[in-house]
Structure 1
Amino acid sequence: MEIQYKASLNGAAFLLFELKQVVKLKQKSMSSEEIRRKVLEENVFQGGKKSSMSRALTSVIRRAEVIDQTIGEKLLEGSLETSKAINLYSIMKTDLLFYEFMSEVICDKLHNDILLLEKKDINLFFTVKIEQSELVAQWSEVTIKKLKRAYLQVLFESGILKERQGTELNRLVIDEQLKEHLKYIGDAKYVHAMGE
């Protein structure tokens, strides 16, 4: 099943804390529906409005569903860097457009030792996608502007972007066992997209 382009990162950027909470519940063999109910009823995310929590929860549950037992344990028990890399992986795995951004822009820069992300790089990426995809072409300017901001937020929180408002890129140090496991389950392309 091909994942369609979507703009869901606008309402659910990094959400590492939230992902950890959902994975903990998932490890207790709770269904997605049980997790949804518990999170909303017991304010597990310690968040604000129920509407924004509910929107974020949909993305977080989708991310948790692509994380197997091994990765889930690493997410909960590994270092902060490892958790961030896993979260980034789960975002790419559930958001085709963001994966393509990582693969076509960030990965390319990291592999060519160009550790600088300029505004024009992001603008060009979206210009190309607008030309290639009828769906993206239908999105409003506001939606695309918010998505660009969300992408930068994810890059910053994952550790790829050194400063929130900066342009300098960092290489992620990805846990060797995690790397090997992702390759073993057929997800080497996501490891590559993170610059490995």
Structure 2
Amino acid sequence: MLKKYSGGFTAEHLYRNEMKIIVHLQLQGLSKEEIKKKVFEENLLHCRSEAAIKDLFPRVYRRAEVLDQQLKFFLIHGARSDQNALLLYAFLKRFTFPRDFVLEVIHYNMKKFKSTVTEGNIRTFFEEKEQQYEQVRNWTDKTKYKLKQVMLKIIVDAELLKKNGNEYEIKPIPLSRELRDYVERNPVYRDLLILTLNE
């Protein structure tokens, strides 16, 4: 069965601070409605308008829901590299297209002992998806350009790639022993190791 690809991540970011704010409230035991009320009343996400909060809150909350209580604890209290791994993981679990890019281009290159991702690799990935999926063929050039920019920015912000001239250097995200042990004990999260290039 063919996958459904969504181009609906053109306005997405890594949401480092926003995720920490929502997850911190979740760890305090607040319900979704209680968190929503607090976010709106106190403008915790630092938005310029109520409309912006309405747009941003569900995006961030959906990502936070990818993580269980222990992973949320690591997000709040862990080292920056653990936070990067979890923020990237939450994004990739929500959006299939960038997840497949990480698996089929970045992870693949690393396994082939290539240390970079080239513009040619990125272009080939988009072209192959266009051939395979009608919804990708229906994206405009402007949409494809925006998706590429957003996807790469989030992956660079998570420090899985580092821009180096016209290429991107592949950099596995180091995980703490505690986070790695937890993920290895919980098979439902094993793909975190693959998506952060630790397997």
Q: 1:19 to 1:28 in 2, by over 3 A?
A: same
Distance 1:185 1:3 in 2: 26
CA distance in 1, matches of 2:3, 2:132: 16
CA distance in 2, matches of 1:143, 1:51: 23
* Match in the other structure for 2:41: 41
TM-score by length of 1: 0.88
Question: What is residue 179 of structure 1 aligned with on the other side?
Answer: 180
Cα distance change on mapping 1:8 and 1:36 into 2, 3 Å: farther
Deviation at 1:156, TM superposition (A): 1.2
Partner of residue 97, structure 2 = 97
List per-residue Cα deviations over 1:111-163 (Å, max 9, x = no partner).
Answer: 23312111121121122122222222222221111110011111211112223
Greater C-alpha Rg = 2
What 5-or-longer segments of structure 2 have no aligned partner?
none
Q: Secondary structure at the match of 1:117?
A: strand
Q: Taking structure 1 as reference, are residues 54 and 128 closer, same or farther at Cα in structure 2, changes over 3 Å only?
A: farther
Higher strand share: 2
5+ residue gaps in structure 1?
Answer: none
Question: What CA distance in whole angstroms lies between the structure 1 residues aligned with 2:49 and 2:3?
Answer: 29
Segment of structure 1 superposing worse, 77-86 or 105-114 = 105-114
Q: How does 1:71-110 map to 2 (within 5 A)?
A: 71-110=71-110
Please name the residue that 1:124 is paired with: 124
Alignment pair present for 1:190 and 2:197:
no
Counterpart residue number, 1:20:
20
Specify the alignment match of 1:137 in structure 2. Answer: 137
Give the 3 Å change call, closer, same or farther, for CA 32–125 of structure 1 in structure 2.
Answer: farther
Deviation at 1:91, TM superposition (A): 1.0
- Partner deviation per Cα, 1:55-84 (whole Å, 9 max, x = no partner): 332221111111111101110001111111
Residue identity over aligned pairs, in percent, reads 25
With over 3 angstroms needed to count, the CA separation of the structure-2 counterparts of 1:77 and 1:62, relative to structure 1, is same
Report if aligned partners of 2:89, 2:195 keep a CA contact under 8 Å in 1: no
Alpha carbons 1:106, 1:193 under 8 Å: kept: no
User: Which amino acid counterpart does residue 186 of structure 2 have in structure 1?
Assistant: I
Superposition deviation, residue 51 in structure 1: 3.6
Deviation track 1:18-63 (CA, whole Å, cap 9, x = no partner) reads: 1111101111222333323322332112233444443332221111
Range that drifts further, 102-111 or 2-11: 2-11
2-side partners of 1:140 and 1:19: how far apart? 31
Please give the TM-score of this superposition, normalised by the length of structure 2.
0.87
Query: After alignment, is 145-154 or 23-32 more displaced?
Result: 23-32
Corresponding residue pairs, total:
195
- Match of 1:31? 31
Question: C-alpha separation between the residues in 2 aligned to 1:38 and 1:146?
Answer: 32
In 2: Cα distance, 1:120 partner to 1:49 partner: 40
